[in-house]
């Protein structure tokens, strides 16, 4: 399987012989799978991206990026995806390995917005906006993985100190729906069973 962020990337993935596509909208938390990280991510909605990929290739589509409720899953399936995939909405579950400061700030009303930033690693990734993204995003070079290694010790120390102004708080646009519960309960909710 290959993650793709556009119809063009879907065509390239299909030509290389993959069995299925993970179609990732820019609402996704964490790093974008884009093949052109130096270019700003196109602000496409997940259902439109699914439709565009389905118009380009015939491979099965797993939709992802910003899915956080049962309604979001329904929209993705109606748009033509065979399955839905989530990341952010699991970050506060009992099974999640996210750090304690990361889990806490996801639920903090003061952290209302996410932003796509290359400041932490030199590759576009969606995170909660904080002091680090505000200060360094405007000047960050597209330098993955050098920037990742450069900022790594600082982020590790900030995590140990619980200083969320400097941590890479990966989060998609659906982060408000992340709950403290078991992952199984989250999936039941997304499947519309509770």
Ligand X SMILES: Cc1cc2nc3c(=O)[nH]c(=O)nc-3n(C[C@H](O)[C@H](O)[C@H](O)COP(=O)(O)O)c2cc1C
Q: Which residues bind ligand X (CB under 6 A)?
A: 3, 24, 27-31, 64-67, 86-89, 170, 172, 174
Toward ligand X, which CB reaches closer, 88 or 130?
88
The smaller minimum CB distance to ligand X, of residues 14 and 169, is found at 169
CB of 173 to ligand X, least distance (A): 7
Torsion of CA 128, 156, 86, 109, to 10 degrees: -30
Closest CA to 124 of 91, 147, 108: 147
Nearer to ligand X, 47 or 139 (CB): 47
Q: From the CB of 10, what's the least distance to ligand X, in Å?
A: 15
* Structure tokens given for 102: 């990361």
CA distances 57 to 14, 25, 52, 110, Å, are 7, 17, 9, 42
Given strand 21-24, what is the order of strands in its sheet? 2-4, 21-24, 61-64, 83-85
From the CB of 19, what's the least distance to ligand X, in Å? Answer: 17
Residue nearest to ligand X (CB): 87
CB of 96 to ligand X, least distance (A): 9
């Amino acid at each position: 399987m290959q993650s793709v962020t556009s119809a063009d990337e879907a065509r390239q993935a299909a030509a290389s012989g993959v069995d299925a596509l993970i179609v990732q909208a820019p609402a996704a938390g964490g790093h974008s799978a884009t093949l052109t990280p130096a270019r700003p991510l196109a602000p496409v909605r997940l259902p439109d991206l699914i439709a565009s990929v389905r118009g380009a290739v015939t491979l099965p589509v797993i939709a992802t990026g910003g899915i956080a409720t049962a309604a979001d899953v329904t929209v993705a399936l109606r748009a033509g995806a065979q399955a839905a995939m989530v990341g952010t909405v699991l970050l506060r579950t009992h099974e999640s390995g996210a750090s304690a400061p990361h889990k806490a700030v996801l639920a903090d009303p003061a952290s209302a917005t996410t932003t796509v930033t290359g400041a932490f690693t030199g590759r576009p990734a969606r995170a909660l906006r904080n002091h680090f993204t505000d200060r360094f995003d405007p000047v960050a070079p597209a330098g993955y993985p050098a920037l990742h290694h450069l900022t790594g010790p600082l982020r590790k120390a900030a995590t140990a100190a619980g200083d969320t102004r400097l941590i890479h708080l990966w989060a998609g646009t659906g982060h408000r729906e992340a709950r403290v519960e078991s992952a199984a309960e989250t999936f039941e909710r997304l499947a519309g069973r509770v």
